[in-house]
Amino acid sequence: MLVQIPDSFNTSKPCMITATSSGSRGVYGAISVGEWGLKRGCAVAYTDKGTGAAPHDLDTDTVPLVDGTRASRSAAGSNAQFAARPGNLSLADFTAQAPHRQAFKHAHSQRNPEKDWGKFTLQAIEFGIWAINDRFGVVAGNGVRQRTMGKDKILVIASSVSNGGGAAVAAAEQDTTGLIDGVAVGEPNLNLPANAGVIVRRGNTAVSASGRVLYDYITTANLLQLCASQAVALVNAPAFATNQFYANRCQTLADNNVVAGTTTADQAASALEQLHAAGWEPESDALHPSLSVFDTAASISVTYANSYARASVTDRLCGYSFATTLADFKPAAIAPAVLASMFSTGNGVPPTSTVQLINDRDIQHGPFLNGQSVSASSNRTDVNFDGARCLRNLLSGSDSQALALQAGVAQTLRSGNLRGKPALIVHGRSDGLLPVNHTSRPYLGFNRQQEGGTSKLSYIEVENAQHFDAFIGAVSGYSNRYVPLHLYLIRALDAVYDNLTSGKPLPPSQVVRTIPRGGATNTTTAPTLLPANVPPIEASPAVGNQIVVSSGTVQVPD
């Protein structure tokens, strides 16, 4: 945990926001959210929520410390930010058999930290209250600082994005002591129970799939997205390129009756249509090629499979491991300078820095870079179809690893009860990683089921916004197509703060109709972002923009 208290902190109007790390990052992973708090004069309470960017390097047996430096596992002791534990093999025996591997906190802690993301966020708030009083509390006659500002005096907004946003929602649900006053989150990861009974409609049609858990839809993407990225309809999408390995995945999918068609074009069109049927909106289509290039679905599937199943790094679940690779695509020792910097620059879910996904079951090469590897079942370089299928099958399998994973997923489900706290969720309609049909849309209905008329949750769906604002200006084709969702999180924080401090009503649920900047699609630049491109969240949205919840149905306008 980490707390920042700005010099502008106002003890007469004390406030704090949470900034639980996004993705699988370390404690600094939501510092872009913390910025809002610092500028407001609010303290910011961070937590890594049991994830982290720096690995345990098994070759050198060194681990990260909480301050970002590294030490040997034996010297670190309880000061280690993360140290892997063995499975059936000792770490030494495993490293002798499979050298150059890394263990990561989210994947390999064997604790399924996601089940405690809400708890960890609440603990960060408690730490923040302590830190505020440690600095500003009245000093008693014995020289000891007193706790003179408690939860009743400090305004607290739970916030963050993606996994951190999901953690903030979980914290609000679990807040039985009134630590949290309001919630403002962006693109949250929210797992709903299978029997939630919420129907999502867009326009006049019920969406084909909604409310599925992350592991369900991310392993679906891991099977289909590489093939779908080759669809002719996506030829102008960011990072589109014909890729023989992805075409090979299409053929293997066809051989296994997962997609239809005899040509790559037909197979890719079939895969894209299956993603639509699985809950992805057409607005996400243009994102599939770039998400494929970054190996997004595979990296998340592998990390969460290990986490949910509480697998050890020595288990190599579904034949995957993590290691640096060189020009020969085989595991190699990681450079000390890279290892030293990962605490601050890594994302905690390989591929990250130079660490890659390894297919330890490549039948031709032995352990090999996942994207270049050969599947045993197909004898093709199809980006490890066997591994992707194995990960997918864990969701419904009956062996010990599958049952452990299913139990882990069940521990992460949300309750839907925000305890009457004023709350705003913002999410991009084009999100290709956490589709709105499986996250924010059904959660809105689920919350209304649980809280009824006492619910103070509003959902803001932003057109032309997607999950990775960092790609805008970095990946060709993003700047002209997508607006930054983070701007709307800032506006949501403003709205919740104003509601809590002055009673200004929260805006109702709505779709915000943004306007892409346009310009050339093959560059990282675009015309200047103007207010007209990113209109405000309306206090009274037009009827055609209103999102309405009624009798378990969430009605979203086209």
The secondary structure element, H or E, covering residue 159 is strand 155-161
Tokens of 489: 């999180």
State whether 421 and 557 are in the same domain: yes
Residue at a domain's end among 259, 294, 329: 294
Instruction: Give the residue from 83, 88, 125, 87 showing the smallest Cα distance to 105.
Output: 83
Tell me the C-alpha distance between 226 and 229, whole Å.
5
State whether 504 and 528 are in the same domain: yes
- Would you say residue 494 lies in a domain? yes
Question: Exposed/middle/buried for 35, CB within 10 Å: 0-12, 13-18, 19+?
Answer: middle
CA angle 406/410/413 to nearest 5° reads: 145
State whether 207 and 218 are in the same domain: no
Q: Which residues contact 385 (CB under 8 A, 6 or more apart)?
A: 223, 249, 252, 253, 256, 375, 377, 378
Tell me the C-alpha distance between 227 and 268, whole Å.
5
Instruction: Give SS3 for 223.
Output: helix
Residue at a domain's end among 266, 294, 322: 294
State whether 462 and 556 are in the same domain: yes
Q: How far does Cα 337 stand from its chain's mean position? A: 27
CB-CB contact of 338 with 62 (8 Å): no
Which contacts (CB < 8 Å, 24+ apart) does range 269-274 have? Answer: 269/231, 269/232, 269/233, 271/224, 271/225, 271/227, 271/228, 271/231, 272/228, 272/231, 272/233, 272/234, 274/224, 274/228
- Would you say residue 344 lies in a domain? no
State whether 286 and 421 are in the same domain: no
Q: Which residues contact 519 (CB under 8 A, 6 or more apart)?
A: 479, 480, 525, 526, 527
State whether 198 and 232 are in the same domain: no
- Would you say residue 476 lies in a domain? yes
- Would you say residue 482 lies in a domain? yes
Q: How many domains does the chain have?
A: 2
The model's pTM is 0.97
- Would you say residue 200 lies in a domain? yes
- Would you say residue 184 lies in a domain? no
The secondary structure element, H or E, covering residue 201 is strand 199-202
- Would you say residue 66 lies in a domain? no
Tokens of 69: 């430096």
Which residue's entry shows tokens 């882990």? 408
* Pairing outcome for strands 102-103 and 56-57: antiparallel
Q: How far does Cα 93 stand from its chain's mean position? A: 33
CB-CB contact of 507 with 539 (8 Å): yes
What are the average pLDDT values for consecutive 10-residue runs of the chain, which has 558 residues? Answer: 97 97 96 97 98 97 95 96 95 98 98 98 98 96 93 97 98 98 98 96 97 98 98 97 98 98 98 98 98 97 98 98 97 97 93 96 97 97 98 98 98 98 98 98 98 97 98 97 98 98 98 97 95 98 97 96
Q: Provide the sign of the torsion angle of the four alpha carbons 248, 254, 258, 261, taken in this order.
A: positive
Cα–Cα distance list, 187 to 37, 38, 184, 252, 472 (Å): 19, 22, 10, 33, 16
State whether 284 and 422 are in the same domain: no
**pLDDT digit string, tens, across residues 104-125:** 999 999 999 999 999 999 999 9
Tell me the C-alpha distance between 184 and 176, whole Å.
19
DSSP-derived letter for residue 143 is: S
State whether 470 and 534 are in the same domain: yes
State whether 205 and 269 are in the same domain: no
State whether 199 and 232 are in the same domain: no
Kindly provide the b/e burial profile for residues 120-133, where b requires at least 16 CB atoms within 10 angstroms of the residue's own CB. bbbbbbebbbebbb
Which of 21, 22, 24, 162 is an active site residue? 162
pLDDT for the residue numbered 462: 99
Tell me the C-alpha distance between 44 and 156, whole Å.
10
CB-CB contact of 414 with 446 (8 Å): yes
162 flagged as catalytic: yes
State whether 265 and 206 are in the same domain: no
pLDDT for the residue numbered 21: 98
Residue at a domain's end among 294, 321, 345: 294
User: What residues make up the domain containing 282?
Assistant: 214-294
Q: Phi-psi region for residue 435, left (φ > 0), alpha (ψ -120 to 50) or beta?
A: beta
State whether 556 and 421 are in the same domain: yes
- Would you say residue 429 lies in a domain? yes
